[in-house]
C-alpha cells in the first residue's frame, strides 16, 4: 500500500556517493512524438518511465501504433507511421501531463478525417490550451467541440490535415504550445511561417524542441528561438540511427545539486556532464551564488560546496521556472531575503506553484510576499525551529511533484542538530509524475 504521508529523516552525516537520475520527461515525450511521425522502428534508450510518459505511450498505442516499453532496461521501441495513424478515432486521456496534452493535440491534426475525444485529470482541465486550439482552428487543421469551458479539456477534435500558410500563435501561457506547433509545421502540406503573437515563457524548451527536430532531419529557418519560423512543408522525420539516447533529467538534478549544501559532503551526479538540450541545467549557475562548485569526472558532475554561502539572492527564473521551487523551499535556511521573479506562468501549471510555495513556507513561520510574477521570502530560522520542535509540520503537495521533491530537500537538513524528523510530506507518491523512485533514491544517500 502506498504511503499517504512520509516523514523525512534528516541527514546526520555529510552526503556521499552517487545518484543515477531518471531520463528527461521533456525529451522522452518529444522523442516519442518525433518517432511516431517518422517511419520505421526507433528505440529510445534511457527513457523515463513515469505517469507522464505512460500517458503518452498509451495514447500512441490507442492510435494503432506499435509501442513496446521495457521499464527494466529503460527502453521504448516505437514503429512510426509518418503522418497517417492506423486509427482515425480514439479516446485519449492525458492525465495531468502538459507535454502529452499539447503535443498530441497538435500531432493528431495531421490525420485527415480523424475524430479524437480528448480529456485529462481535474487539474489538467484547468491548464491552458486555448492558444494552441485557437491556432489549429484558425489555420483549418481541426474543428474543436468543447464539452466544458472553451479553451480547456475535455473536447473532441475533428481533424482535417495540416495546411501551410502563415500561422500565428499566442504561447504566452506555455512554451509547450509553441513546441507543439513547431513539431507539426515541417509536415504541413505546403510552406509554413509561424509567428509568435506574444512572448513565450521557458524559452530554453523551444531550443530543446528545435534541436531535437534537427536531430530528426527538420531544421527551421529562423533568426532566433523566438522566430518567425519558416518551413518548406511536405517534410518527413527520420532519425539516422536505431537508438536515440535520452538525457538524464536536468530538473531532477536540481534537487541533488542542492543536497550537499543542505547536508554537507559531495555528490556525484552520473552522466550529467553532457546535458545540452535542457535549459534547467543552468540551475547550477544559480547555485554558484550559494557557493556551489562542480567538478567534471568523465561523464559525471561532482557537486560540492567548499565554502557554502547563506546570503539571500534575487534571480529571474523565467527561463528555468521548474527549478524555482527547488530554491524557494530552502530559503528558510538563508540569512537574508530572497526574491524569485519571472514565474507568473507557473500559476497555471500542475498547481498554482507560487501560491503553493507561499502557503507551505508560511506554515514554517516564514514571511512571504507574493505578486503575480514573484515570490519574496524573508527567512526566520528560529521560528521554524520553534514550530517543528515537538511535532513535524506537514507539507501539502497539491498533487505537484515539484512541491514534494523541493520540500524533501529542505526536510533533509538536520534542523535541530539531533537527527529529529521535523517535516512530513503529504501525498509523496505525486512524484510518480516524473520521478517515481525519488524518495527511495534520497533515502539511499542518507548515511
Residue-wise pLDDT tens digits, 237-261: 999 988 999 999 999 999 999 999 9
Q: For the chain, how far is it from start to end, CA to CA, in angstroms?
A: 26
pLDDT value of position 280? 97
322 a catalytic residue? yes
Q: How many CB atoms lie within 10 A of CB 168?
A: 14
* CA-wise closest residue to 71 among 48, 37, 101: 48
Mean predicted confidence (pLDDT) in 188-213: 95
pLDDT value of position 158? 98
269 contact partners, CB below 8 Å, separation of at least 6 = 18, 19, 21, 248, 253, 256, 257, 300, 301, 302, 303
Mean predicted confidence (pLDDT) in 67-95: 97
Residue-wise pLDDT tens digits, 53-68: 999 999 999 999 999 9
Q: Do residues 387 and 365 make contact, with C-beta atoms less than 8 angstroms apart?
A: yes
What Å distances lie between residue 109 and 52, 101, 231, 338, 383, CA to CA? 21, 13, 17, 45, 55
pLDDT value of position 223? 79
Q: Which helix H or strand E contains 101, and what residues bound it?
A: helix 98-108
Candidate from 1-5, 274-278, 396-400 with smallest mean pLDDT: 1-5
pLDDT tier at 3, thresholds 50, 70, 90: confident
Residues 135 and 132: their CA atoms lie apart, in Å, by: 5
Q: What is the rounded average pLDDT for all residues in the chain?
A: 97
pLDDT value of position 225? 78
Residues 278 and 441: their CA atoms lie apart, in Å, by: 22
pLDDT value of position 2? 60
Question: Which domains are present in the chain?
Answer: 5-22+248-444 (3.65.10.10), 25-219 (3.65.10.10)
Mean predicted confidence (pLDDT) in 359-368: 98
> Going by DSSP bridges, is the β-strand pair 112-119/142-146 parallel, antiparallel, or unpaired?
unpaired
Question: Which strands form 75-81's sheet, in the order they lie side by side?
Answer: 66-70, 75-81, 39-45, 243-245
Q: Which helix H or strand E contains 145, and what residues bound it?
A: strand 142-146
Residue-wise pLDDT tens digits, 270-324: 999 999 999 999 999 999 999 999 999 999 999 999 999 999 999 999 999 999 9
Residue-wise pLDDT tens digits, 115-168: 999 999 999 999 999 999 999 999 999 999 999 999 999 999 999 999 999 999
pLDDT tier at 19, thresholds 50, 70, 90: very high
pLDDT tier at 390, thresholds 50, 70, 90: very high
Q: How many CB atoms lie within 10 A of CB 6?
A: 19
Mean predicted confidence (pLDDT) in 368-391: 98
Strand partners, 266: 304
Strand partners, 69: 76
Q: Does 1 have pLDDT greater than 70?
A: no
pLDDT value of position 447? 82
The grid coordinates listed for 38 are 517518422
pLDDT value of position 241? 87
Q: How many CB atoms lie within 10 A of CB 97?
A: 28
Q: Exposure string (b/e) for 402-432, b if CB count within 10 Å is 16 or more?
A: bbbbbbbbbbbbbbeeeeeebbbbbbbbbbb
Q: Which of 322, 373, 396, 399 is catalytic?
A: 322
Place of cell 506499435: 66
Mean predicted confidence (pLDDT) in 40-56: 97
Residues 79 and 43: their CA atoms lie apart, in Å, by: 9
**This prediction's pTM:** 0.96
* CA-wise closest residue to 393 among 370, 357, 425: 425
Give the Cα-Cα-Cα angle 65, 66, 72 (nearest 5 degrees): 135
Q: Does 431 have pLDDT greater than 70?
A: yes
Q: If you count them, how many residues does the chain have?
A: 447
Candidate from 11-25, 154-168, 213-227, 329-343 with smallest mean pLDDT: 213-227
Amino acid at each position: 500500500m502506498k504511503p499517504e504521508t512520509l516523514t523525512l529523516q534528516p541527514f546526520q552525516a555529510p552526503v556521499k556517493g552517487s545518484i543515477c537520475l531518471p531520463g528527461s520527461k521533456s525529451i522522452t515525450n518529444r522523442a516519442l512524438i518525433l518517432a511516431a511521425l517518422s517511419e520505421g522502428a526507433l528505440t529510445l534508450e534511457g527513457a523515463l518511465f513515469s505517469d507522464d510518459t505512460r500517458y503518452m505511450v498509451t495514447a500512441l498505442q490507442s492510435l494503432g501504433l506499435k509501442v513496446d516499453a521495457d521499464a527494466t532496461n529503460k527502453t521504448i521501441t516505437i514503429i512510426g507511421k509518418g503522418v497517417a495513424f492506423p486509427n482515425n478515432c480514439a479516446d485519449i486521456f492525458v492525465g495531468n501531463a502538459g507535454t502529452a496534452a499539447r503535443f498530441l493535440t497538435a500531432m493528431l491534426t495531421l490525420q485527415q478525417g480523424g475524430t479524437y475525444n480528448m480529456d485529462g485529470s481535474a487539474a489538467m482541465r484547468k491548464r491552458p490550451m486555448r492558444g494552441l486550439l485557437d491556432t489549429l482552428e484558425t489555420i483549418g487543421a481541426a474543428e474543436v467541440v468543447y464539452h466544458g469551458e472553451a479553451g480547456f479539456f475535455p473536447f473532441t477534435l475533428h481533424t482535417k490535415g495540416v495546411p501551410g500558410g502563415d500561422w500565428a500563435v499566442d504561447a504566452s501561457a506555455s512554451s509547450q504550445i509553441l513546441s507543439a506547433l513547431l513539431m507539426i509545421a515541417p509536415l504541413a502540406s505546403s510552406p509554413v511561417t509561424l509567428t509568435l503573437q506574444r512572448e513565450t515563457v521557458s524559452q530554453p524548451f523551444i531550443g530543446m524542441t528545435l534541436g531535437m527536430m534537427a536531430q530528426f532531419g527538420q531544421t527551421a529557418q529562423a533568426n532566433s528561438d523566438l522566430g518567425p519560423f519558416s518551413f518548406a512543408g511536405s517534410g518527413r522525420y527520420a532519425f539516422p540511427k536505431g537508438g536515440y539516447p535520452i538525457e538524464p533529467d536536468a530538473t531532477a538534478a536540481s534537487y541533488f545539486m542542492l543536497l550537499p549544501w543542505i547536508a554537507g559532503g559531495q555528490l556525484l551526479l552520473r552522466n550529467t556532464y553532457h546535458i545540452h538540450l535542457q535549459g534547467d541545467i543552468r540551475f547550477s549557475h544559480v547555485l554558484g551564488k550559494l557557493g556551489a562548485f562542480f567538478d567534471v569526472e568523465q561523464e559525471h558532475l561532482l557537486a560540492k560546496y567548499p565554502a557554502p554561502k547563506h546570503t539571500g539572492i534575487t534571480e529571474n527564473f523565467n527561463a528555468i521556472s521548474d527549478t524555482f521551487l527547488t530554491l524557494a523551499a530552502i530559503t528558510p535556511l538563508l540569512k537574508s531575503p530572497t526574491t524569485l521573479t519571472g514565474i507568473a506562468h507557473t500559476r497555471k501549471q500542475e498547481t498554482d506553484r507560487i501560491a503553493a510555495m507561499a502557503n507551505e513556507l508560511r506554515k514554517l513561520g516564514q514571511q512571504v510576499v507574493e505578486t503575480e510574477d514573484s515570490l519574496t521570502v524573508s527567512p526566520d530560522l528560529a521560528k521554524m525551529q520553534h514550530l517543528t520542535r515537538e511535532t513535524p509540520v506537514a507539507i501539502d503537495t497539491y498533487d505537484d511533484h515539484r512541491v514534494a521533491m523541493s520540500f524533501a530537500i529542505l526536510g533533509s537538513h538536520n534542523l535541530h542538530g539531533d537527527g529529529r524528523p521535523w517535516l512530513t510530506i503529504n501525498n509523496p507518491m505525486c512524484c510518480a509524475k516524473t520521478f517515481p523512485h525519488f524518495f527511495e533514491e534520497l533515502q539511499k544517500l542518507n548515511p
